[in-house]
Structures are given as C-alpha cells and as structure tokens.
Amino acid sequence: MRRAREVIPGGVNSPVRAFGSVGGTARFIKSATGARIRDVDDNRYLDYVASWGAVLVGHAHPRVVDAVRSAAARGTSFGAPTEAEVLLAERVIEFVPSVEMIRFVNSGTEAVMSAVRLARGATGRDKIIKFEGCYHGHGDSLLAAAGSGVATLGIPGTRGVPEAAVRDTIVVPYNDLDAVENAFLQHSDGIAAVIVEPIAANMGMVSPRPGFLEGLRSLCDTYDAVLIFDEVITGFRVARGGAQGRLGVVPDLSTFGKVIGGGLPVGAYGGRRDLMRHIAPEGEVFQAGTLSGNPLATAAGLAVLELLDEDGVYDALEQRSRRISEGLQSQADAAGVPMTIDSAGGVFGFFFHPGPVRNYEDVQKADGKRYETFFHGMLDQGVYFAPSAFEVAFVTTVHSLADEDETLEAARRVFRKGL
C-alpha cells in the first residue's frame, strides 16, 4: 500500500476500494476462484463484493475463462465490427425486451453519459432529473448529490465539475414522486430525462416504494421526457430482465455494465429503436470508442449470459440473498441491534438503522461506526464485505449454502462480541 500510494492517488484506482471510511488497509488481491478471493499475503476471503457486482457466476468461471482465452488467441481488438457483438446485442435484447437496439461501450459511466446525451439530443431539451444518493458513474452532469464513492467520502459533490455542468441537473429525493412532479411543473418543457436506479444500490440498498417507478413512467409520458433506468448494478442481477423485468415498469432507455462484461470492462445503453436511431452514424448524437465492443469483453459477456439462461439460476440467487438477509436480521434482532435489510435476486444491503430507509436522508442516519465494526469483524474471520456502508453485498451463483452458513456463523460471533 505504501508503494501504491507513491504512484497511484490513494493507492487505488477507484476511491471506495481504499478502506477510507472503515479504516485499515485495503487488501491487495492476487487471485480469485468461485466465491473466494485470495490476497497477496495468502489470506482467503469469502467475497461479497464480487467486483462490485460485475462477477455474477463466480470468479474465473471455467466457461468464461475459456471464452476469453479463445477470443484473445484470435486477437484482442480490431476496431471493426465483429459477429460476437451482434450475438451479444441479440442476447441482451432477448433478456430485456424494452431494449430494441443497443450500443456497447467500456464502462457504466460511459453508458450513462451517452444515454443522457441521447435523451438530450432526441428531445432537444437540456434538463435532467436525478435522485439524491443515486450514483450514475462519474460523468460531470450526474455528480450532484451522488452515492457510492462520493457518499463514502462524505462530500456533496466534487471539485473539477464546473457549475455549468450541473446547472441543468435537478436533484430530488428518491421515492418522492411529489418532488418529481413539482420539478416537471416548474420546468415543464425543459426536462429531457429522468434517470433513476430502479432499485437504488449505491447508497446501500433502497427499494422503490410501490407506485414510485410507475409514477415516474407516467410523468415522463405526460411531459414527453425520456425515462432512463440505470441498471448497471441491477441488470441481469436482480432478475433475468433486470429491475424492470422484476418490477414491471418499462423505461425508454436503460444502461448496463458489470454483469454483461463478466468481469471485463463493458458498459451498454439501449432502448426504444426510435431513440437509438439518433445515435451516430444513423443520427446526429455522437458517441464513439476505440475499444467498444471489445472481443474479449464480448466473449465474456456472451458466456455469462449463456450461464444465466440455465433454469433455476435466478430462483437460487433469490433464495441465497434472502436466506442470508433473514439470518443477519434475526441475529441483529436477538442482539438488540437496530438493522434493516433488503434483498433482490443476487444483491442484498443492510443498514444499522431501525428503518424504514426510503431515501438518502434516511440512509445518512444509519450507524456508520457499527458498519465499520461489523466490516472488520467479518474481515478478520475471512468474510469480505464492501469497505463502505454506502455499498451493497453481492451474491454469485456459486455461493453455496455452506458459504452462507460460514458467513452467518462469522456474523454471530461479531454480534456476540458486541456491535
């Protein structure tokens, strides 16, 4: 870490990895297989970070490794179209019916920046509505009241983002439909898009209240604005069809990342054909990338989606997350520690807070000190949760019942010691 800090700011290539909010030193990972990661000191950890959700079928899954290896042997990048990109596009469209056309990029950040540009280009309007505590990558216009690393560092925004870049960003509380309606009333013909994490997972996990997403859908219809679901975390993870498939609300555009790259750098945005046709070279909204549709990432994505198409995958993920959530909740209850837990498909999140947790204001009332103690207590026993109370926990298809028992046993010891 000392050497890393000399040459990389904070020693890390993404801030939340630095253990800044929980204290201690980040683990340097040397290898991983299945549900376990190994650090450079040869400590093994049961992994609930799973590359921040990018790994859904377990680390180094043989089918993914084979696919990447054979793609690499054919050439790592051509800067020209390949058949595999078409196959992956068709596959995503099959999983997520609201996506009629898709464009692959290299990260979730890029996907969101491009989707917002598209919404603005297609509507000829500038303003966008986002929600406090939702995180949509580190593009300038969305770094207002953001979750994830911005929340972890406890800063309201970030230096280097000019005021002009966020002037057209309207920030409202998550789950507050009245606030969204008021924003529309105030700027009725100026709002290009509403962008939302349909299940918020960058301020811990906060589910939408019944009617919230439906309300966004109908306000966007009324005011001809584009509804963008940021499914970078929830896509292919909370259900086969993502949060939109699970909750039954259809956006105009969606953004993806993480799972569809199988652990390689990928993002994508897609949606209604009439909107997507505005993208260059068909239309006048420009977006490009040397490594977009990269053969290795595409091969990994295809292998993962194939695995996810097998029967029972999502039921198993759902059961695993639920079992562990219920186990943790009952331990907290027995210990008299206020805790609120939520789960969906392969993701769960908990707050040391009696609940309900509906928005970022509630999230901030959660007990961060308790999270820190819990995090280190678990880490000491070889269970690796996110080094931040503002992130969620990820289950993969290879987390076993025995892994869960081990996790719950470790948690029992942490609660017993006192939180």
- By CB atoms closer than 10 A (0-12, 13-18, 19+), residue 165 is middle
The span of 14-22, 32-40, 187-195, 339-347 binding ligand HOZ (CB under 6 A) equals 14-22
Residue closer to ligand HOZ (CB basis): 176 or 391: 391
Q: DSSP string spanning 217-263?
A: HHHHHHHTPEEEEE-TTTTTTSSTTHHHHHHT---SEEEEEGGGGTT
Residue closer to ligand HOZ (CB basis): 23 or 97: 23
Residue closer to ligand HOZ (CB basis): 146 or 183: 146
Q: Name the H helices within 294-400.
A: 295-308, 313-335, 360-364, 368-380
Q: Is the peptide bond before 356 cis (omega within 30 degrees of 0)?
A: yes
Site for ligand HOZ in 309-368 (CB under 6 A): none
Q: Which two tokens stand for residue 130?
A: 């986002």
Catalytic annotation present for 130: no
Q: Is 17 in the site for ligand HOZ (CB under 6 A)?
A: yes
Q: Which two tokens stand for residue 309?
A: 């198409």
Least distance to ligand HOZ from the beta carbon of 331, Å? 26
Task: Name the DSSP letter for residue 336.
Answer: T
Catalytic annotation present for 258: yes
Are 14 and 26 in contact by the 8 Å Cβ rule? The answer is: no
Q: Which residues are registered as beta bridge partners of 270?
A: 102, 254
Q: Which residue in the set 107, 202, 287, 343 belongs to the binding site for ligand HOZ (CB under 6 A)?
A: 202
Are 22 and 14 in contact by the 8 Å Cβ rule? The answer is: no
- Name the residue whose CB lies closest to ligand HOZ: 14
**For residue 134, which of 46, 64, 197, 69 has the smallest C-alpha distance?**
197
Residue closer to ligand HOZ (CB basis): 13 or 76: 13
Q: Is the peptide bond before 9 cis (omega within 30 degrees of 0)?
A: no
Task: Name the DSSP letter for residue 289.
Answer: -
φ, ψ (nearest 5 deg) of residue 143: -90, 50
The span of 12-20, 181-189, 275-283, 332-340 binding ligand HOZ (CB under 6 A) equals 12-20
# residues near ligand HOZ by CB under 6 A: 7
Q: Is 234 in the site for ligand HOZ (CB under 6 A)?
A: no
Least distance to ligand HOZ from the beta carbon of 379, Å? 17
Q: Which residue in the set 11, 16, 85, 115 belongs to the binding site for ligand HOZ (CB under 6 A)?
A: 16
Catalytic annotation present for 417: no
Q: Is 14 in the site for ligand HOZ (CB under 6 A)?
A: yes
> If DSSP codes are grouped into helix, strand and coil, which group holds residue 98?
coil
The span of 10-18, 205-213, 270-278, 290-298 binding ligand HOZ (CB under 6 A) equals 10-18
Q: Is 255 in the site for ligand HOZ (CB under 6 A)?
A: no
**For residue 238, which of 267, 195, 200 has the smallest C-alpha distance?**
200
Q: Is 82 in the site for ligand HOZ (CB under 6 A)?
A: no
Q: Which residue in the set 107, 114, 123, 148 belongs to the binding site for ligand HOZ (CB under 6 A)?
A: 148
- Of 47, 127, 223, 230, the active-site residue reads 230
Length of the chain as a residue count: 419
- Of 45, 135, 174, 371, the active-site residue reads 135
Site for ligand HOZ in 367-386 (CB under 6 A): none
Task: Name the DSSP letter for residue 285.
Answer: B
- Of 258, 360, 362, 384, the active-site residue reads 258
Q: Is 52 in the site for ligand HOZ (CB under 6 A)?
A: yes
Catalytic center residues: 135, 230, 258
Which residues contact ligand HOZ (rule: CB under 6 A)?
14, 16-17, 52, 148, 202, 391
